[in-house]
Protein backbone atom coordinates (compact mmCIF):
# COMPACT_ATOMS: atom_id res chain seq x y z
CA UNK A 1 0.00 0.00 0.00
CA UNK A 2 1.50 3.37 -0.98
CA UNK A 3 2.02 6.38 1.30
CA UNK A 4 2.89 10.01 0.80
CA UNK A 5 5.66 11.62 2.86
CA UNK A 6 5.62 15.40 3.33
CA UNK A 7 8.24 17.60 5.02
CA UNK A 8 6.20 20.57 6.28
CA UNK A 9 7.00 24.24 6.86
CA UNK A 10 7.78 25.37 3.30
CA UNK A 11 5.95 28.39 1.83
CA UNK A 12 4.40 27.34 -1.49
CA UNK A 13 4.60 29.71 -4.43
CA UNK A 14 4.04 29.49 -8.16
CA UNK A 15 1.37 28.36 -10.61
CA UNK A 16 -0.84 25.27 -10.43
CA UNK A 17 -2.87 24.23 -13.51
CA UNK A 18 -6.26 22.75 -12.74
CA UNK A 19 -7.50 19.53 -14.37
CA UNK A 20 -10.98 18.68 -15.62
CA UNK A 21 -13.67 18.23 -12.97
CA UNK A 22 -14.04 14.65 -11.70
CA UNK A 23 -17.69 15.21 -10.76
CA UNK A 24 -18.48 16.59 -14.18
CA UNK A 25 -16.49 14.04 -16.21
CA UNK A 26 -18.23 11.08 -14.54
CA UNK A 27 -21.84 11.98 -15.52
CA UNK A 28 -20.68 13.21 -18.94
CA UNK A 29 -19.02 9.86 -19.69
CA UNK A 30 -22.34 8.19 -18.75
CA UNK A 31 -24.24 10.52 -21.10
CA UNK A 32 -22.47 8.77 -24.01
CA UNK A 33 -24.86 5.85 -23.40
CA UNK A 34 -27.78 8.01 -24.54
CA UNK A 35 -26.77 8.23 -28.21
CA UNK A 36 -25.30 5.49 -30.44
CA UNK A 37 -22.07 6.49 -32.18
CA UNK A 38 -18.59 7.88 -31.58
CA UNK A 39 -18.33 10.35 -28.69
CA UNK A 40 -15.26 12.49 -27.91
CA UNK A 41 -14.81 13.87 -24.38
CA UNK A 42 -11.75 16.02 -23.68
CA UNK A 43 -10.14 17.55 -20.57
CA UNK A 44 -10.98 14.35 -18.68
CA UNK A 45 -8.79 14.04 -15.55
CA UNK A 46 -6.66 10.90 -15.26
CA UNK A 47 -8.13 9.55 -12.01
CA UNK A 48 -8.94 6.14 -10.61
CA UNK A 49 -12.67 6.93 -10.63
CA UNK A 50 -12.50 7.84 -14.32
CA UNK A 51 -10.65 4.61 -15.12
CA UNK A 52 -13.36 2.70 -13.24
CA UNK A 53 -16.08 4.50 -15.20
CA UNK A 54 -14.32 3.60 -18.47
CA UNK A 55 -14.30 -0.05 -17.40
CA UNK A 56 -17.99 0.15 -16.55
CA UNK A 57 -18.84 1.52 -20.00
CA UNK A 58 -16.75 -1.25 -21.62
CA UNK A 59 -18.61 -3.78 -19.48
CA UNK A 60 -21.83 -2.48 -21.06
CA UNK A 61 -20.42 -3.05 -24.54
CA UNK A 62 -19.03 0.39 -25.35
CA UNK A 63 -15.63 0.78 -26.99
CA UNK A 64 -13.44 3.06 -24.86
CA UNK A 65 -10.07 4.50 -25.93
CA UNK A 66 -8.32 7.26 -23.98
CA UNK A 67 -5.06 9.16 -24.19
CA UNK A 68 -3.89 12.50 -22.77
CA UNK A 69 -7.24 13.19 -21.18
CA UNK A 70 -9.27 12.62 -24.35
CA UNK A 71 -11.83 9.79 -24.31
CA UNK A 72 -13.21 8.23 -27.52
CA UNK A 73 -16.31 6.24 -26.64
CA UNK A 74 -18.23 4.14 -29.17
CA UNK A 75 -21.70 3.30 -27.89
CA UNK A 76 -23.11 2.06 -31.21
CA UNK A 77 -23.74 -1.44 -29.89
CA UNK A 78 -24.45 -1.81 -26.19
CA UNK A 79 -24.36 -5.48 -25.23
CA UNK A 80 -25.57 -5.38 -21.63
CA UNK A 81 -27.72 -3.30 -19.31
CA UNK A 82 -25.93 -4.33 -16.12
CA UNK A 83 -23.55 -2.45 -13.81
CA UNK A 84 -22.09 -5.21 -11.64
CA UNK A 85 -21.44 -5.03 -7.88
CA UNK A 86 -17.67 -5.54 -8.37
CA UNK A 87 -17.45 -2.19 -10.17
CA UNK A 88 -20.19 -0.24 -8.40
CA UNK A 89 -18.80 -1.06 -4.92
CA UNK A 90 -15.57 0.77 -5.81
CA UNK A 91 -17.33 3.86 -7.13
CA UNK A 92 -20.80 5.10 -6.16
CA UNK A 93 -20.99 7.35 -9.20
CA UNK A 94 -21.60 4.16 -11.22
CA UNK A 95 -25.25 4.75 -10.34
CA UNK A 96 -25.16 7.45 -13.05
CA UNK A 97 -25.55 4.77 -15.76
CA UNK A 98 -29.04 3.99 -14.45
CA UNK A 99 -30.95 6.85 -16.08
CA UNK A 100 -29.15 6.64 -19.45
CA UNK A 101 -29.59 2.84 -19.69
CA UNK A 102 -33.33 2.95 -18.99
CA UNK A 103 -33.72 5.79 -21.48
CA UNK A 104 -31.63 4.13 -24.22
CA UNK A 105 -32.36 0.40 -23.74
CA UNK A 106 -35.61 0.41 -21.73
CA UNK A 107 -33.98 -1.56 -18.93
CA UNK A 108 -31.13 -1.45 -16.43
CA UNK A 109 -29.73 -3.68 -13.70
CA UNK A 110 -27.45 -1.62 -11.47
CA UNK A 111 -25.96 -2.79 -8.20
CA UNK A 112 -27.06 -0.70 -5.26
CA UNK A 113 -24.01 1.33 -4.22
CA UNK A 114 -22.88 0.03 -0.85
CA UNK A 115 -22.32 2.17 2.21
CA UNK A 116 -19.78 4.92 2.11
CA UNK A 117 -17.38 6.32 4.69
CA UNK A 118 -19.04 9.74 4.72
CA UNK A 119 -22.64 8.67 5.04
CA UNK A 120 -25.47 6.28 4.10
CA UNK A 121 -25.88 8.06 0.76
CA UNK A 122 -29.16 6.42 -0.31
CA UNK A 123 -30.41 6.70 -3.90
CA UNK A 124 -34.11 6.67 -3.07
CA UNK A 125 -34.69 9.97 -4.89
CA UNK A 126 -33.08 8.64 -8.08
CA UNK A 127 -35.47 5.66 -7.99
CA UNK A 128 -38.57 7.68 -7.03
CA UNK A 129 -37.93 10.00 -9.98
CA UNK A 130 -37.67 7.09 -12.42
CA UNK A 131 -40.94 5.67 -11.04
CA UNK A 132 -42.54 9.10 -11.53
CA UNK A 133 -41.48 8.79 -15.17
CA UNK A 134 -43.27 5.44 -15.47
CA UNK A 135 -40.41 3.00 -14.91
CA UNK A 136 -40.98 -0.20 -12.95
CA UNK A 137 -38.21 -0.19 -10.36
CA UNK A 138 -37.57 -3.12 -8.01
CA UNK A 139 -34.70 -4.03 -5.70
CA UNK A 140 -33.63 -7.63 -6.29
CA UNK A 141 -30.68 -9.25 -4.48
CA UNK A 142 -28.87 -5.95 -4.01
CA UNK A 143 -29.55 -4.71 -7.53
CA UNK A 144 -31.83 -1.98 -8.84
CA UNK A 145 -33.85 -3.54 -11.66
CA UNK A 146 -35.59 -0.86 -13.75
CA UNK A 147 -37.76 -1.28 -16.84
CA UNK A 148 -39.71 1.13 -19.07
CA UNK A 149 -40.80 0.76 -22.70
CA UNK A 150 -40.42 4.52 -22.97
CA UNK A 151 -40.14 6.93 -20.05
CA UNK A 152 -42.81 9.62 -19.81
CA UNK A 153 -42.12 13.20 -18.82
CA UNK A 154 -43.18 14.01 -15.24
CA UNK A 155 -43.04 16.74 -12.64
CA UNK A 156 -40.55 15.46 -10.05
CA UNK A 157 -39.94 17.10 -6.66
CA UNK A 158 -36.59 16.18 -5.07
CA UNK A 159 -36.70 16.12 -1.23
CA UNK A 160 -33.02 17.08 -1.17
CA UNK A 161 -31.21 18.80 -4.06
CA UNK A 162 -29.26 15.60 -4.84
CA UNK A 163 -26.46 16.22 -7.35
CA UNK A 164 -26.26 12.80 -9.00
CA UNK A 165 -30.01 12.37 -8.55
CA UNK A 166 -30.58 15.54 -10.60
CA UNK A 167 -28.04 14.33 -13.17
CA UNK A 168 -29.51 10.82 -13.45
CA UNK A 169 -33.05 12.09 -13.93
CA UNK A 170 -32.01 14.89 -16.30
CA UNK A 171 -30.27 12.32 -18.53
CA UNK A 172 -33.26 9.94 -18.37
CA UNK A 173 -35.65 12.78 -19.26
CA UNK A 174 -33.80 13.76 -22.46
CA UNK A 175 -35.31 10.77 -24.30
CA UNK A 176 -38.63 10.60 -22.44
CA UNK A 177 -41.97 11.33 -24.09
CA UNK A 178 -43.01 14.86 -23.18
CA UNK A 179 -41.79 17.38 -20.64
CA UNK A 180 -40.06 16.67 -17.33
CA UNK A 181 -39.69 19.31 -14.62
CA UNK A 182 -37.17 18.68 -11.83
CA UNK A 183 -38.10 20.79 -8.79
CA UNK A 184 -35.64 21.47 -5.97
CA UNK A 185 -32.93 20.33 -8.39
CA UNK A 186 -29.23 20.63 -7.54
CA UNK A 187 -27.62 23.85 -8.85
CA UNK A 188 -23.99 22.65 -8.80
CA UNK A 189 -21.80 23.72 -11.76
CA UNK A 190 -21.33 20.03 -12.58
CA UNK A 191 -25.10 19.81 -13.27
CA UNK A 192 -24.83 22.85 -15.56
CA UNK A 193 -21.84 21.34 -17.36
CA UNK A 194 -23.74 18.07 -17.94
CA UNK A 195 -26.76 20.02 -19.23
CA UNK A 196 -24.54 21.91 -21.68
CA UNK A 197 -23.09 18.59 -22.85
CA UNK A 198 -26.57 17.06 -23.29
CA UNK A 199 -27.75 20.17 -25.18
CA UNK A 200 -24.78 19.77 -27.55
CA UNK A 201 -26.16 16.28 -28.23
CA UNK A 202 -29.54 17.73 -29.17
CA UNK A 203 -31.31 17.62 -25.79
CA UNK A 204 -33.78 20.39 -24.96
CA UNK A 205 -32.96 21.58 -21.42
CA UNK A 206 -33.66 24.91 -19.71
CA UNK A 207 -33.04 26.05 -16.14
CA UNK A 208 -29.88 24.01 -15.45
CA UNK A 209 -28.03 25.69 -12.57
CA UNK A 210 -31.31 26.75 -10.96
CA UNK A 211 -33.58 24.74 -8.65
CA UNK A 212 -36.05 24.09 -11.49
CA UNK A 213 -34.83 22.25 -14.58
CA UNK A 214 -37.14 21.64 -17.58
CA UNK A 215 -36.38 18.93 -20.13
CA UNK A 216 -38.41 18.42 -23.33
CA UNK A 217 -37.94 14.80 -24.39
CA UNK A 218 -36.70 14.11 -27.92
CA UNK A 219 -36.71 10.88 -29.92
CA UNK A 220 -32.96 10.63 -30.33
CA UNK A 221 -29.68 12.36 -29.51
CA UNK A 222 -26.42 12.64 -31.44
CA UNK A 223 -22.90 11.80 -30.23
CA UNK A 224 -21.05 14.49 -28.25
CA UNK A 225 -17.78 16.33 -28.78
CA UNK A 226 -17.37 18.01 -25.41
CA UNK A 227 -14.71 19.40 -23.10
CA UNK A 228 -15.16 19.00 -19.33
CA UNK A 229 -15.15 22.12 -17.14
CA UNK A 230 -12.30 22.72 -14.63
CA UNK A 231 -12.47 21.16 -11.17
CA UNK A 232 -13.62 23.66 -8.54
CA UNK A 233 -12.74 21.35 -5.63
CA UNK A 234 -9.22 20.79 -6.92
CA UNK A 235 -9.02 24.59 -7.27
CA UNK A 236 -10.06 25.05 -3.63
CA UNK A 237 -7.70 22.35 -2.46
CA UNK A 238 -4.62 24.06 -3.94
CA UNK A 239 -5.78 27.45 -2.67
CA UNK A 240 -5.96 25.94 0.82
CA UNK A 241 -2.48 24.45 0.35
CA UNK A 242 -1.07 27.86 -0.57
CA UNK A 243 -3.00 29.52 2.25
CA UNK A 244 -1.87 27.22 5.07
CA UNK A 245 1.81 27.72 4.15
CA UNK A 246 1.46 31.52 3.95
CA UNK A 247 2.51 31.23 0.34
CA UNK A 248 1.72 32.98 -2.93
CA UNK A 249 0.01 30.64 -5.41
CA UNK A 250 -1.77 31.27 -8.69
CA UNK A 251 -4.34 28.73 -9.86
CA UNK A 252 -4.64 28.64 -13.65
CA UNK A 253 -7.15 26.96 -15.97
CA UNK A 254 -9.92 27.35 -13.36
CA UNK A 255 -13.33 29.04 -13.24
CA UNK A 256 -13.26 31.62 -10.37
CA UNK A 257 -17.07 32.04 -10.44
CA UNK A 258 -17.44 28.42 -9.24
CA UNK A 259 -15.45 29.17 -6.07
CA UNK A 260 -17.23 32.32 -4.85
CA UNK A 261 -18.18 30.97 -1.41
CA UNK A 262 -14.65 29.71 -0.71
CA UNK A 263 -13.00 32.93 -1.91
CA UNK A 264 -15.27 34.95 0.38
CA UNK A 265 -14.20 32.83 3.35
CA UNK A 266 -10.50 33.02 2.44
CA UNK A 267 -10.76 36.82 2.29
CA UNK A 268 -12.45 36.79 5.73
CA UNK A 269 -9.40 34.84 6.96
CA UNK A 270 -7.22 37.73 5.81
CA UNK A 271 -5.81 36.33 2.58
CA UNK A 272 -5.41 38.62 -0.41
CA UNK A 273 -7.28 37.19 -3.38
CA UNK A 274 -6.94 38.42 -6.96
CA UNK A 275 -8.79 36.82 -9.86
CA UNK A 276 -9.21 37.11 -13.59
CA UNK A 277 -10.40 35.05 -16.55
CA UNK A 278 -9.34 31.48 -15.75
CA UNK A 279 -7.08 32.31 -12.79
CA UNK A 280 -7.09 33.02 -9.05
CA UNK A 281 -4.11 34.27 -7.04
CA UNK A 282 -3.87 33.89 -3.27
CA UNK A 283 -1.26 35.77 -1.25
CA UNK A 284 -0.67 34.36 2.21
CA UNK A 285 -0.84 36.24 5.48
CA UNK A 286 1.17 35.52 8.64
CA UNK A 287 -1.63 33.67 10.34
CA UNK A 288 -5.25 33.30 9.11
CA UNK A 289 -8.07 34.62 11.26
CA UNK A 290 -10.45 31.90 12.48
CA UNK A 291 -13.66 31.86 10.43
CA UNK A 292 -16.89 29.86 10.78
CA UNK A 293 -18.23 27.85 7.83
CA UNK A 294 -21.41 25.89 7.21
CA UNK A 295 -21.57 23.50 4.25
CA UNK A 296 -24.60 23.90 1.99
CA UNK A 297 -25.72 22.91 -1.50
CA UNK A 298 -24.32 25.19 -4.23
CA UNK A 299 -23.84 28.14 -4.23
CA UNK A 300 -23.20 27.63 -0.50
CA UNK A 301 -19.84 26.54 0.90
CA UNK A 302 -19.13 23.12 -0.69
CA UNK A 303 -19.10 20.05 1.55
CA UNK A 304 -16.23 18.75 -0.60
CA UNK A 305 -14.07 21.62 0.74
CA UNK A 306 -15.02 21.19 4.42
CA UNK A 307 -12.14 18.91 5.39
CA UNK A 308 -9.56 21.01 3.55
CA UNK A 309 -10.79 24.24 5.16
CA UNK A 310 -10.77 22.59 8.58
CA UNK A 311 -7.07 21.82 8.14
CA UNK A 312 -6.48 25.52 7.53
CA UNK A 313 -8.47 26.48 10.64
CA UNK A 314 -6.26 24.17 12.74
CA UNK A 315 -3.53 26.84 12.55
CA UNK A 316 -5.83 29.91 12.53
CA UNK A 317 -5.81 32.63 15.15
CA UNK A 318 -8.96 31.97 17.19
CA UNK A 319 -11.89 29.60 17.36
CA UNK A 320 -13.75 28.35 14.27
CA UNK A 321 -17.06 26.48 14.13
CA UNK A 322 -17.38 24.16 11.13
CA UNK A 323 -20.89 22.82 10.50
CA UNK A 324 -21.47 19.96 8.06
CA UNK A 325 -25.08 19.90 6.88
CA UNK A 326 -24.88 17.69 3.77
CA UNK A 327 -23.43 14.37 4.97
CA UNK A 328 -23.90 12.76 8.36
CA UNK A 329 -20.40 11.38 8.85
CA UNK A 330 -17.89 13.64 7.19
CA UNK A 331 -15.59 14.26 10.15
CA UNK A 332 -13.26 11.26 9.85
CA UNK A 333 -10.30 13.56 9.18
CA UNK A 334 -10.65 15.05 12.69
CA UNK A 335 -9.11 12.10 14.56
CA UNK A 336 -6.09 12.23 12.24
CA UNK A 337 -5.73 16.03 12.45
CA UNK A 338 -5.77 15.71 16.26
CA UNK A 339 -2.84 13.31 16.03
CA UNK A 340 -0.96 16.24 14.45
CA UNK A 341 -1.74 18.42 17.46
CA UNK A 342 -4.97 20.05 16.27
CA UNK A 343 -7.46 21.10 18.96
CA UNK A 344 -10.91 20.05 17.66
CA UNK A 345 -14.07 19.12 19.55
CA UNK A 346 -17.09 17.57 17.78
CA UNK A 347 -20.58 18.54 18.88
CA UNK A 348 -23.16 16.82 16.68
CA UNK A 349 -22.68 18.04 13.11
CA UNK A 350 -20.40 20.86 14.22
CA UNK A 351 -16.66 20.78 14.85
CA UNK A 352 -15.18 23.47 17.11
CA UNK A 353 -11.58 24.16 16.09
CA UNK A 354 -9.28 26.10 18.42
CA UNK A 355 -6.48 27.29 16.16
CA UNK A 356 -2.94 26.41 17.33
CA UNK A 357 0.35 28.21 16.68
CA UNK A 358 1.78 24.97 15.35
CA UNK A 359 0.77 21.49 14.33
CA UNK A 360 3.28 18.66 14.07
CA UNK A 361 4.18 16.02 11.52
CA UNK A 362 2.89 12.50 12.31
CA UNK A 363 2.01 9.20 10.64
CA UNK A 364 -1.69 9.54 9.67
CA UNK A 365 -4.22 7.54 7.66
CA UNK A 366 -6.51 8.70 4.85
CA UNK A 367 -10.12 7.54 5.21
CA UNK A 368 -11.86 9.10 2.22
CA UNK A 369 -11.04 11.32 -0.72
CA UNK A 370 -11.38 14.79 0.77
CA UNK A 371 -10.16 13.72 4.22
CA UNK A 372 -6.91 12.63 2.56
CA UNK A 373 -6.60 16.07 0.91
CA UNK A 374 -7.12 17.63 4.33
CA UNK A 375 -4.22 15.62 5.76
CA UNK A 376 -1.95 16.66 2.89
CA UNK A 377 -2.78 20.32 3.54
CA UNK A 378 -2.13 19.97 7.28
CA UNK A 379 1.16 18.15 6.63
CA UNK A 380 2.35 21.00 4.38
CA UNK A 381 2.21 23.37 7.38
CA UNK A 382 3.16 20.88 10.11
CA UNK A 383 6.53 21.06 11.80
CA UNK A 384 8.48 17.98 10.77
CA UNK A 385 7.63 15.03 8.58
CA UNK A 386 4.23 13.34 8.03
CA UNK A 387 3.47 10.04 6.35
CA UNK A 388 -0.07 9.69 4.96
CA UNK A 389 -1.08 6.06 4.33
CA UNK A 390 -3.89 4.69 2.13
CA UNK A 391 -3.26 7.35 -0.50
CA UNK A 392 -5.39 5.39 -2.95
CA UNK A 393 -8.17 7.59 -1.61
CA UNK A 394 -6.28 10.62 -2.93
CA UNK A 395 -5.76 9.03 -6.35
CA UNK A 396 -9.51 8.78 -6.82
CA UNK A 397 -9.89 12.54 -7.10
CA UNK A 398 -6.58 14.33 -7.61
CA UNK A 399 -4.59 14.10 -10.83
CA UNK A 400 -0.78 14.10 -10.30
CA UNK A 401 -1.07 15.80 -6.88
CA UNK A 402 2.57 15.27 -5.84
CA UNK A 403 3.81 16.68 -9.14
CA UNK A 404 1.54 19.75 -8.86
CA UNK A 405 2.56 20.39 -5.24
CA UNK A 406 6.28 19.84 -5.98
CA UNK A 407 5.87 22.37 -8.77
CA UNK A 408 5.10 25.06 -6.17
CA UNK A 409 7.84 24.02 -3.77
CA UNK A 410 6.35 21.29 -1.58
CA UNK A 411 8.73 18.66 -0.17
CA UNK A 412 6.56 15.65 -1.01
CA UNK A 413 7.20 12.13 -2.27
CA UNK A 414 5.31 8.87 -2.70
CA UNK A 415 6.75 5.77 -1.06
CA UNK A 416 5.92 2.05 -1.11
C1 LIG B 1 -22.18 14.36 -5.30
O2 LIG B 1 -22.49 13.19 -4.58
C3 LIG B 1 -20.66 14.38 -5.43
N4 LIG B 1 -20.23 13.20 -6.18
C5 LIG B 1 -20.03 14.38 -4.03
O6 LIG B 1 -18.63 14.50 -4.20
C7 LIG B 1 -20.54 15.63 -3.29
O8 LIG B 1 -20.01 15.62 -1.98
C9 LIG B 1 -22.06 15.61 -3.24
O10 LIG B 1 -22.60 15.53 -4.58
C11 LIG B 1 -22.64 16.86 -2.58
O12 LIG B 1 -22.19 18.00 -3.25
C13 LIG B 1 -20.36 13.19 -7.52
O14 LIG B 1 -20.85 14.13 -8.13
C15 LIG B 1 -19.86 11.97 -8.24
P16 LIG B 1 -26.06 14.05 -3.12
P17 LIG B 1 -24.03 12.70 -4.48
O18 LIG B 1 -26.94 13.05 -3.76
O19 LIG B 1 -24.77 13.09 -5.68
C20 LIG B 1 -28.94 12.70 0.35
C21 LIG B 1 -16.39 13.97 -3.81
O22 LIG B 1 -15.70 14.13 -2.80
N23 LIG B 1 -29.63 11.90 -0.68
O24 LIG B 1 -26.12 15.47 -3.57
O25 LIG B 1 -24.01 11.27 -4.07
C26 LIG B 1 -27.55 12.15 0.66
O27 LIG B 1 -27.61 11.15 1.63
C28 LIG B 1 -17.79 13.43 -3.70
O29 LIG B 1 -16.02 14.26 -4.98
C30 LIG B 1 -30.77 11.19 -0.33
O31 LIG B 1 -31.22 11.21 0.82
O32 LIG B 1 -24.55 13.57 -3.26
C33 LIG B 1 -26.81 13.38 1.15
O34 LIG B 1 -27.07 13.54 2.53
C35 LIG B 1 -18.12 13.02 -2.28
N36 LIG B 1 -31.40 10.45 -1.29
C37 LIG B 1 -27.46 14.53 0.37
O38 LIG B 1 -28.69 14.01 -0.18
C39 LIG B 1 -30.94 10.38 -2.58
O40 LIG B 1 -31.56 9.69 -3.41
C41 LIG B 1 -26.63 15.04 -0.77
O42 LIG B 1 -26.27 13.93 -1.55
C43 LIG B 1 -29.77 11.09 -2.91
C44 LIG B 1 -29.14 11.85 -1.94
Contact 97 CB / ligand 1 (< 6 Å): no
Cα 341 to ligand 1 centroid, rounded to whole Å: 31
- Supply the DSSP string of 27-53, one letter for each residue: HHHHHGGGS-SEEEEES----HHHHHH
CA distance 374 to 61: 38
Contact 394 CB / ligand 1 (< 6 Å): no
Cα 217 to ligand 1 centroid, rounded to whole Å: 26
Mutational test site, ligand 1, from 21, 137, 326, max ligand atoms within 8 Å of CB: 326
Contact 93 CB / ligand 1 (< 6 Å): yes
Contact 26 CB / ligand 1 (< 6 Å): yes
Q: Say if residues 168 and 96 touch (Cβ distance below 8 Å).
A: yes
Q: Say if residues 146 and 98 touch (Cβ distance below 8 Å).
A: yes
Cα 197 to ligand 1 centroid, rounded to whole Å: 21
CA distance 233 to 5: 22
Contact 126 CB / ligand 1 (< 6 Å): yes
pTM for this prediction: 0.98
* Active centre residues (catalytic): 116
Closest ligand 1 atom to 327 CA: 34
Cα 286 to ligand 1 centroid, rounded to whole Å: 36
Cβ burial, residue 257 (10 Å; 0-12/13-18/19+) = exposed
Cα 235 to ligand 1 centroid, rounded to whole Å: 19
310-349 pLDDT, tens digit each: 999 999 999 999 999 999 999 999 999 999 999 999 999 9
Cα 114 to ligand 1 centroid, rounded to whole Å: 14
CA distance 204 to 216: 5
Closest ligand 1 atom to 118 CA: 35
Cβ burial, residue 343 (10 Å; 0-12/13-18/19+) = middle
Contact 283 CB / ligand 1 (< 6 Å): no
Q: Say if residues 318 and 307 touch (Cβ distance below 8 Å).
A: no
- Please report, in angstroms and rounded to a whole number, the separation of the first and last CA atoms in the chain: 6
pLDDT tens for the 416 residues of the chain, in order? 899 999 999 999 999 999 999 999 999 999 999 999 999 999 999 999 999 999 999 999 999 999 999 999 999 999 999 999 999 988 999 999 999 999 999 999 999 987 778 888 899 999 999 999 999 999 999 999 999 999 999 999 999 999 999 999 999 999 999 999 999 999 999 999 999 999 999 999 999 999 999 999 999 999 999 999 999 999 999 999 999 999 999 999 999 999 999 999 999 999 999 999 999 999 998 899 999 999 999 999 999 999 999 999 999 999 999 999 999 999 999 999 999 999 999 999 999 999 999 999 999 999 999 999 999 999 999 999 999 999 999 999 999 999 999 999 999 999 99
Closest ligand 1 atom to 26 CA: 15
Q: Residues 34, 39, 44, CA angle at the centre, nearest 5°?
A: 105
Cβ burial, residue 8 (10 Å; 0-12/13-18/19+) = buried
Contact 166 CB / ligand 1 (< 6 Å): no
Contact 163 CB / ligand 1 (< 6 Å): yes
Cα 163 to ligand 1 centroid, rounded to whole Å: 6
* Rg from Cα positions in the chain: 21
CA distance 347 to 143: 36
Closest ligand 1 atom to 298 CA: 12
Q: Considering the chain, what is the average pLDDT of its residues?
A: 97
Q: Say if residues 1 and 385 touch (Cβ distance below 8 Å).
A: no
Q: Say if residues 306 and 344 touch (Cβ distance below 8 Å).
A: no
Mutational test site, ligand 1, from 131, 158, 164, max ligand atoms within 8 Å of CB: 164
Amino acid sequence: MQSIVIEGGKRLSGDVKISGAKNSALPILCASLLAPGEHVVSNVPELQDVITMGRLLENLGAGVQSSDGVFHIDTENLAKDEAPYELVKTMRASVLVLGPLVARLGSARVSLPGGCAIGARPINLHLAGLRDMGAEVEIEHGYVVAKAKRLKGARIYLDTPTVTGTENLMMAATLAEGRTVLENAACEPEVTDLAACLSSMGAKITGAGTDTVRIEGVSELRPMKYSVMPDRIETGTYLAAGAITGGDVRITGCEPAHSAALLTKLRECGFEIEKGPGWIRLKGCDRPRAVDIKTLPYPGFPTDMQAQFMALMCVADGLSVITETVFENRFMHIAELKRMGADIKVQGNAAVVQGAENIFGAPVMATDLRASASLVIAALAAKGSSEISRVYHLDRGYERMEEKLRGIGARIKRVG
